[in-house]
Amino acid sequence: MFTKGSTAAVAAVLLALSSTAGAVNFPGTGTGAIPDAPAGAPTCGSSNEGGTPLVVSFQVSGLASNVSTVGLTMNIRHPYRGDLVVKLAAPGGTPNKVVFSHTGTNVPNACGDNSPLDGLYRFYDLAPFTFDATGGDWWASTRDPVTPGDYRASTAGAGGSPEGGIPIALSVGFTGLTPEQANGTWTLTLLDAGDAGVGDISAATLYINESLPVSLQQFSVD
């Protein structure tokens, strides 16, 4: 039986992300403290959000087929999840995709949810999902801290269009990239748009699958 949070479950998720069905993992470099927005700077949701982003890089090489799916893990701590704007980008900056941004609010220029982050968070298209805090729904998970585990990416909050909190496929936009487009430096950008509370990211890994999407249903966990 699949038990969320168990060692066996974690192993199954990582196996799903990096299975032999064509997936390769690339560790990130440049991890560390996420700079806080300076006091008095334009803050969350504005067109000119304050702060200097931290950029984590993934050196992708050896891909020989078009990209099918992508997944992302990050070990991150921050006292206010709603302050963060997190984006993944292919080489050259395009295409790019919001992983999460200003979680928990659709009010323009508001930061959002104050739940802290502390642990390993995994984002991929086939994360087990329910529209509540029991799994997969990033906006619904408001525990203290937000439970480490498996989630889907979501649309940005703070007055974005479409409205924030809609689960989205992280792979859309990246699927179909050719080896010429996908080999190179991918980036994960983390912007702290609030001027209170400092966080850090200690590790991140990008997973790229070159073949068919991998389903957790392929794996049996006792």
Cα–Cα distance for residue pair 195/165, rounded to 1 Å: 23
pLDDT, tens only, 95-111: 999 999 888 887 877 78
- Number of Cβ within 10 Å of residue 120's Cβ equals 15
pLDDT, tens only, 117-153: 999 999 998 776 555 555 578 878 777 889 898 999 9
The domain segmentation of the chain, as residue ranges, is 7-211
Residue 152 near residue 123, CB atoms below 8 Å: yes
Q: Of the candidates 177, 31, 172, 19, which has an alpha carbon nearest to the alpha carbon of residue 97?
A: 172
Q: What's the full length of the chain, in residues?
A: 222
**CA atoms within a 13 Å half-sphere pointing along the CA-CB vector of 176:** 3
For the four alpha carbons of 206, 211, 215 and 219, in that order, the dihedral sign comes to negative
Q: Can you name the CATH fold of 7-211? A: Jelly Rolls (2.60.120)
Model confidence band, residue 30 (pLDDT cutoffs 50, 70, 90)? very high
185 contact partners, CB below 8 Å, separation of at least 6: 57, 58, 59, 60, 91
Residue 164 has pLDDT above 50, yes or no: yes
Is pTM beyond 0.95? Reply is no
